[in-house]
A and B are shown apart, each in its own frame.
Chain A
Amino acid sequence: MSRHLVSLTVNGRKLSAEAPARMTLVDFLRDVLHLTGTHTGCEHGVCGACSVLLDGRPVRSCLIFAVQAEGSAVETVEGFAPDPETLSILQDAFWETHALQCGFCTPGMLIAARALLAQTLSPSDDEIREAIGGNLCRCTGYKQIVEAVLLAAERMRRSNEAGRGRG
């Protein structure tokens, strides 16, 4: 199996690491870069647990080979918080509304929500349900996730009015 040097930006840091040609991006993130916040749920692109932002767009990292991310900017849940002691507004809203139980789908949900909030800070319920529609959660029935995204949007709107803050 041929091995390749993959150079990319992950959570704002440029790095290079070797990956076998057949290694998926999710395995590369988890096993090579030790970023285990991104989870593997189905490995056939349905559940969304492995979602990451690739050049700002939410994608299934189980359906992409690591080598295909060459030169790209990848964001994972580990890159959300401004520092280890502080949560982002979106993460904090998920905590506040208890938008999770087991936490396994949560990183993927945060990715989907972040991509939505990058488009609009005034999403409707339907827009939120559409945005997270490709991410399966077995614990919550989605209600508290919708509440979390609404709360985060509201806080981010106020935060932007004060001239600071992001997702």
Chain B
Amino acid sequence: MAEPAGNLQFRYIARKRRTKEDRRFVAGAGRFAADIDLPGMLHVALVASPHAFARIHSIDAKSALALPGVFAVLTGDELARGIEPVMSGLDLPKVKRYPLALGLARYVGEWVAAVVAESRAVAEDAAELVEVEYESLPAVVDPEEALKPEAPVVHPDHGSNVLYRRKFVWGPVEQDFAESSHKLAFRARWHRSSTVPIETFGVVANWNHAAQLLEIWASIQMPKYPDQLARALRLPGNAVRVHFDVDVGGSYGVKRGLKHSILAGYLAKMLGRPVRLIEDRLENMRGGDAQGPDRIFDMQVAFDRGGVIRSLKIRALDDVGAHAGRAPLQLGKPVGAIVGPYRIGSVEYEAISVTTNKTPQEAVRGFGQAPTNFAIETTVDCVARHLGMDRIELRRRNLIRREEFPYTIPSGSTYDSGDYHAVLDKALKAADYEDLVMLRDKARAAGNLAGIGIACCLEPSGGNAAFEPLFNPKNETTTWMESCSLKVDLNGAVIASMGTSSAGQGHETLLATVIGEVLERDPDTIRALHSDSLTAGPSNSPVGSRMAIMLGGAAAGAAKKLKVQLIAIAAHNLGVAPEDIEYRGGDVVLRADPGKRLSWDQLVDIAHRKFHLLPPGMEPGLQITHVMEVPGGGALPSPDGRVQMYPCYAFEAHVVYAEIDRVTGQVRIGKYAVGHDCGTIINPDIVHGMTYGGIAHGIGAALYERFAYDENGQLLSGSFMDYLIPSSHEVPDIVIVDHCTPSPLTAFGQKGSGEAGYLGAPAAVSCAVNDALAPLGLSIASLPMSVAVLEELLAAAPGGKR
């Protein structure tokens, strides 16, 4: 069981409470995109490119269209005439992306044509009858090959495979390297994996001719999705209504099916019928454009004899696949925590984003931070090994100390608060570290490969998307606001609404808990709604571990405004000043004479029905919208690329025990403990659940999951038979220990936690594997450390296999 934070200053926050959402899910009454069934609905299947790179000469749909039940076959040429290209996160006017390939197919699985039929089965039959004539071209699959001048160019109009390249220097890097007695250089590799939710992406689109309105139901988690969808379809924003009350069956970053939605919206409008597009598993993994970072880190570190790390040089080469999208920006977020939790005085960071003929990359949990954390932690371990120093002691020497907060790192972000040493100590205690060492040594004495992994890392949270202007000067975004609307109806019931959908993060519970806390009303009595894009206030969706901070903050802000209004009504009617009044559970009492009071019901009655009793100038009714700006944000980056990237920084320390089977190379995790400090926890079950899940996901990235390609660009792991997601057998019984260092920047001291666990688990597991390999003189800095990889490593080593 997780140990509770024990923050008892609150009435509902930080306490064990049942969620609002789970009731419908355990009843089988969730409403997912595939559950939306409209009269006359048609279904889409896709014709996918079998080539990694090919010119499309012709598409013959005659046989497909002749099949009974087929309504249309749409090609890229026709679609491109009616829409705008999908927006990119960078300023890349010649890297154009359309939902269906236009002229060139750039990866295996890319959609070349869409077939619409009365059922998905008929649409699939017809898709097989579409004849496409391709001219296969030489493909580029490896990111380093993509940099070479002779490499095939994925976007010929752009003229190069490099989408982004910049070298940042923050602080006296060369001087620090020159003055340090020790230097090391090594390479770390984070291969392609992703979040791969159990629900694939799905969208239902319906064009309402009479209202001239496109209605969308989608399993979406994407900032500015409605606006981008309308823009691509050349519709005014108020002609697209995205319903956010669709349950999203997992996302963790990737559910950004903009191309799917543009295609479905276009088809619905073209055919005048509702259209549904649900990916099958292969489409999801190969053609869904939702694979993750694919990174080569070349690391250099300068440090002294005592293990104090002075400077880092990081070169990160990331392969985004065939299209840009927002993927290159995943090299930008880590700028906000580029030194991790350590006191490192200067950093050089070269970020390079390249295209290859592979499935496009999408945002994955942590937006590029997990690979960078892996590289930083691997660096720390290399230093410890080089100096023969204890890995924990080395970390303690370099961790930022409690009294140093707020702490500004070389790249310009200020960390809000933390007590890293205390959290690390708690994690070690929870893991029974001394016992683990004995267990490991005993296992080693018995001839087994046993190791302990340690990882410390940060979860930047509540972001203002400062990586957008950092990587694209034409984009001057400096706000990433969130809103909450709150009203009390004339019977006194509280209704709160948000402008986003949820993918399991419990935002209804968040709203009800926060508003219940401020208004002192039972959260179970509060209705929390997912609104739609035309009625909601602005939202930037649940990305970047931001909702506890931003949606929670917006809800708290709205509730506080409502409370002020209730107090003003009471003061006016009691003939006293608002300062003389105390708010108690919705009733309002005269502090000096508690007999004089107005109840919640009376105040609601006055607001809704009795204008003559309202203070002069007050609007009737009880309704408020609060829009929250990101704390500490609002500024553009400096010319040398310094910027406040995220307001809040959660910390986690992982301790893991693992053994490697000498014969098979299989890693078995025996014990897992994590110390976690995300400030005030709003709902412990939700935060702990996301942390357990994040660790499970991180174990997958460390040991099992890889989108592997052959040299021709064919995806080798497009099913759950070969892309291995950890099951209950692979995920150990995890122990979480909470610690609470409140953030000074948020309503209740909360920080973000949606990416918890995942940001440190790959580094921790890698550290344990390397500790297990150390007695053989082996090391490895490439993920995933799959059975095949470790088996090969052991087989080649003297004394490795027995």
A: residues with CB less than 8 A from B are: 20, 22-23, 30, 34-44, 46-47, 49, 76-78, 80-81, 87, 91-92, 94-98, 100-107, 110, 125, 128-130, 132-147
Distance, CA A140 to CA B198, complexed state (A): 12
8 Å CB contact of B19 from A41, A77, A98: A98
- Bound Cα distance A138, B757 (Å): 13
A150 to chain B, nearest CB (A): 11
Give the top 7 A-B pairs by smallest Cβ distance, nearest first.
A37-B28, A103-B25, A101-B504, A104-B249, A102-B504, A141-B692, A77-B28
B80-124 CB contacts (< 8 Å) to partner A: 121
Q: A101-B506, A103-B249 are in contact. Are A91 and B27 (CB under 8 A)?
A: yes
A139: chain B residues within 8 A (beta carbon):
250, 504, 689-690, 693
Q: How many of chain B's residues touch chain A, expressed as a range?
A: 35 or more
B195 near A138 with CB under 8 A, answer yes
**The one of B1, B197, B695 that contacts A102, using a Cβ cutoff of 8 Å:** B197
What are 6 A-B pairs at a CB distance below 8 A?
Answer: A23-B121, A37-B27, A101-B693, A136-B720, A138-B196, A139-B690
Query: For residue B731, which residues in chain A have a CB less than 8 angstroms away from its CB?
Result: 141-143
Neighbouring A residues of B121 by C-beta, 8 Å: 20, 22-23
Asked if A76 and B28 make an inter-chain contact with CB atoms under 8 angstroms apart, the answer reads yes
Expressed in whole angstroms, the Cα–Cα distance for A145 and B689 within the complex equals 10
Give B197's nearest chain A residue, CB to CB.
A138
Closest to B683 in A: A98
The complex places the Cα of A129 from the Cα of B720 at a distance, in Å, of: 19
Residues of A within 8 A of B27 (CB): 37, 77-78, 80-81, 87, 91
Chain A contacts of B34 at CB under 8 A?
A: 30, 36, 39-40
When the two chains form their complex, are residues B728 and A44 in contact, meaning their CB atoms are under 8 A apart? no
Contact of B30 among A40, A104, A129 (CB under 8 A): A104
**Count of chain A to chain B residue pairs whose CB atoms are closer than 8 Å in the complex:** 185
Pair A95/B198 contact, Cβ less than 8 Å: no
B688-729 residues at the A interface, CB under 8 angstroms: 688-690, 692-697, 719-721, 725, 727-729
Q: A44-B281, A87-B26, A133-B729 are in contact. Are A103 and B720 (CB under 8 A)?
A: no
Which residues on B sit within 8 Å (CB–CB) of A20? 121
How many angstroms from the CA of A23 to the CA of B119 in the assembled complex? 11
Which residues of the partner chain A approach B729 to less than 8 Å between Cβ atoms? 129-130, 133
Selected from A22, A41, A42, A143, the residue in CB contact (under 8 A) with B734 is A143
Decide yes or no: A47 and B720 within 8 Å by CB, A100-B22, A100-B25, A103-B25 being known contacts.
Answer: yes
CB closest residue in chain B, given A88: B26
Is B28's CB under 8 angstroms from A102's CB?
no
User: What 13 new A-B contacts, CB under 8 Å, besides A39-B34, A129-B729, A136-B720?
Assistant: A37-B28, A39-B199, A41-B199, A42-B281, A95-B26, A101-B686, A101-B690, A102-B199, A102-B251, A103-B21, A103-B30, A138-B195, A138-B252
B612 CB within 8 Å of chain A: no
Does B280 touch A at the CB level, under 8 Å? yes
Are A140 and B692 in contact, CB atoms less than 8 angstroms apart? yes
Known A132-B728, A139-B504; judge A105-B695 contact (CB<8 A).
no
Report chain A residues within 8 Å CB of B28: 35-38, 76-78, 80, 106-107
Known contacts A22-B121, A47-B720: does B30 contact A101 (CB below 8 Å)?
no
Report the minimal beta-carbon distance from A69 to chain B, rounded to whole angstroms: 18
- B18 contacts A by Cβ under 8 Å: yes
Among B37, B686, B695, B729, max chain A CB count under 10 A is at: B729
CB pair A140–B689 under 8 Å, yes or no, is yes
Known: A136-B198, A138-B697, A139-B250. A101 touches B505 (CB 8 A): yes
Known contacts A103-B30, A137-B198; is A144 also within 8 Å of B697 by CB?
no
B476 in contact (CB, < 8 A): no
Of chain A, the residue at the smallest CB distance from B2 is A143
What's the nearest-Cβ distance from chain B to residue A62, in Å? 10
Q: Contact: A94 with B689, CB < 8 Å?
A: no
Find chain B residues with CB under 8 A from A141 CB: 689, 692-697, 731, 734, 757
Given the complex, which residues of A lie within 8 Å of B35, measured CB to CB? 30, 36
Q: Is B503 an interface residue (CB 8 A)?
A: yes
Bound Cα distance A123, B30 (Å)? 29
| A96, chain B: closest CB distance, angstroms | 7
**A135–B32 alpha-carbon span in the complex (Å):** 19
Which residue, A38, A81, A98, A135, has most C-beta atoms of chain B within 10 A?
A98
